[in-house]
């Protein structure tokens, strides 16, 4: 890998913002800004229990994952038509381009919508069309990952997979999200085995609030290729070795961890520890509309709070491309662009 010389601290935020990156952990329903929630509520005649955008924003004071999920699922209730899903994804993709995201792998939660009577094809077709249009109109590469809600049953996950079956060419993989503690990965062993047979990529949230044991079972039972969050891995030395040796990427979300009180003080975040242990960590926004920032805000705030360096920045961006489910040719191309941005940064040295 490119040997990264030091960069003065004053120049680091600009470099973090300008470097090309992939975003591998973004829930599209978590990109729904309060303004868009209100606009869609009005367009669709959906009543909201908040009088204004400001009142809704004031409700974003979370104490843990569940306190967030309750509000997040309520926010998604304004999404009814294909155009709503399109508009939501298009807004995210435009925002991602501004943050120099070259490639995004976007999570969506079909059960949140099918439970309200919205057909799964409405969800997938709207999101997929937004990804296709963004590729040609905005120059960003974007793919979709269908997430099963782990607080629901195995049967519901299987039913969702069956509904999605005719649309599988529009998604690259499946994930597992929602309330973690009390819903271990094993609950979905058979669903993930079936998805594997179907040739889908596999990821799962594990070790966000839950114990290292959930990360072990996501790897060994579900056979996932990446772990979403995974920050609790530091409590298990053997697990850290396994993650490093197998180059299992962790999609870390610093501002989410701060807002959901995993690390109430961003200065205590363990991203640096994960990198120092040789893990393939990446930086992502999770639910940017709820946690106070898109991907560049996550980079700049965690770097400022924990004193990470330009070398760490290069490693994180490189990891994000390497851990993506994009083609090898695309990965090499983005990694080349990353190196060029860093080289240009040194050309301007005084
Ligand atoms: N769904 C949206 N954001 C999530 C998170 N941080 N953890 C689990 N499920 C989620
Ligand atoms: Zn998440």
What is 163-198 written as a DSSP string?
HHGGGGGG-SEEEEES--TT--GGGGHHHHHHHHHT
Strands of the sheet containing 101-108, edge to edge, are 21-27, 101-108, 141-149, 173-177, 201-206, 226-229, 249-252, 280-283
Cβ neighbours, 10 Å, residue 226: 25
Q: How far is CA 193 from the centre of its chain?
A: 23
Beta partners for residue 226, in sequence order? 203, 249
Hey, whose CA ends up nearest to atom 9 of ligand 1?
Answer: 178
Residue positions in the annotated binding site for substrate?
287
Gyration radius (Cα) of the chain, Å? 19
- pLDDT in the model for residue 348: 60
Q: Which of 208, 225, 340, 347 is catalytic?
A: 208
Nearest by Cα to 290 from 105, 23, 49, 31: 31
Using CA positions, which residue lies closest to atom 7 of ligand 1? 178
Whole-number pLDDT of residue 5: 80
* pLDDT at residue 23 in the model: 99
Give me the residue label for tokens 């290729």: 225
Probe ligand 1: pick from 23, 30, 88, 111, max atoms within 8 Å of CB? 30
Tokens matching residue 55: 């009142």
Q: What is the pLDDT of residue 232?
A: 98
Helix pair 82-98, 34-44: axis angle to 10 deg: 160
Query: Domain spanning 12-349: which CATH class is it, in words?
Result: alpha beta
Q: Which of 296, 256, 269 is nearest to 20 (CA)?
A: 296
Tokens 């962790």 belong to residue:
250
CA of residue 36 to ligand 2 center, whole Å: 21
Predicted pLDDT of residue 1:
72
The ligand with the least distance to the CA atom of 109 is 1
Is residue 230 classed as helix, strand or coil in its secondary structure? Answer: coil
Assess whether 335 carries a catalytic annotation: no
The token duo for 151 is 């607080």
Question: What are the domain boundaries of the chain?
Answer: 12-349
The answer to whether the Cα torsion of 133, 285, 234, 315 is positive or negative is: positive
Distance, CA of 119 to CA of 107 (rounded, Å):
17
Tell me, in angstroms, the distance from the centre of ligand 2 to residue 27's CA: 6
- The torsion angles phi and psi of 297, rounded to 5 degrees, stand at -65, -40
Instruction: Judge contact between 190 and 197, C-beta under 8 A.
Output: no
Atom of ligand 1 minimally distant from the CA of 109: 1
pLDDT of residue 349: 55
Question: Ligand 1: residues within 6 Å at CB?
Answer: 27, 30, 65, 72, 177-178, 205, 208, 256, 286-287
Cite the annotated binding site by residue number. Answer: 25, 27, 205, 286-287
Nearest CA to ligand 1 atom 10: 178
Average pLDDT per consecutive 10 residues, the chain (350 residues; last block may be shorter): 84 97 98 98 96 96 95 96 98 98 99 98 99 98 99 98 98 98 98 98 98 98 98 98 98 98 98 98 98 98 97 98 98 97 78
């Amino acid at each position: 890998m490119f040997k990264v010389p030091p960069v003065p601290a004053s120049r680091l935020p600009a470099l973090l913002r300008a470097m090309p990156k992939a975003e591998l952990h973004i829930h599209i329903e978590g990109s729904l800004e309060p303004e868009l929630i209100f606009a869609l509520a009005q367009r669709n005649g959906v009543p909201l229990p908040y009088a204004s955008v400001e009142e809704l924003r004031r409700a974003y004071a979370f104490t843990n994952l569940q306190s967030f999920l309750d509000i997040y699922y309520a926010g998604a209730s304004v999404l009814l038509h294909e155009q709503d899903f399109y508009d939501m994804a298009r807004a995210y993709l435009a925002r991602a381009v501004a943050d120099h995201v070259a490639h995004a792998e976007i999570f969506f939660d079909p059960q949140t919508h099918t439970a309200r009577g919205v057909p799964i094809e409405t969800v997938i077709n709207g999101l997929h069309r937004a990804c296709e249009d963004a590729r040609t109109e905005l120059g960003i590469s974007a793919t979709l990952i269908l997430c099963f809600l782990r607080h629901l049953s195995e049967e519901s996950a299987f039913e969702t997979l069956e509904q999605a079956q005719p649309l599988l060419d529009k998604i690259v993989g499946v994930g597992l999200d929602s309330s973690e503690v009390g819903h271990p990965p094993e609950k979905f062993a058979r669903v993930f085995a079936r998805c594997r047979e179907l040739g889908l990529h596999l990821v799962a949230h594990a070790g966000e609030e839950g114990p290292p044991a959930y990360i072990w079972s996501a790897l060994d039972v579900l056979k996932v290729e990446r772990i979403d969050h995974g920050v609790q891995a530091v409590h298990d030395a053997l697990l850290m070795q396994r993650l490093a040796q197998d180059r299992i990427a962790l999609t870390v979300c610093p501002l989410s961890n701060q807002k959901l009180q995993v690390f109430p003080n961003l200065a205590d975040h363990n991203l640096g520890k994960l990198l120092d242990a040789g893990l393939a960590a990446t930086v992502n926004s999770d639910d940017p509309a709820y946690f106070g920032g898109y991907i560049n805000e996550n980079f700049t705030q965690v770097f400022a709070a924990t004193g990470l360096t330009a070398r760490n920045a290069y490693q994180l961006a490189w990891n994000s491309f390497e851990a993506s489910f994009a083609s090898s040719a695309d990965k090499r191309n983005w990694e080349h662009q990353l190196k060029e941005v860093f080289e240009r940064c040194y050309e301007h040295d005084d």
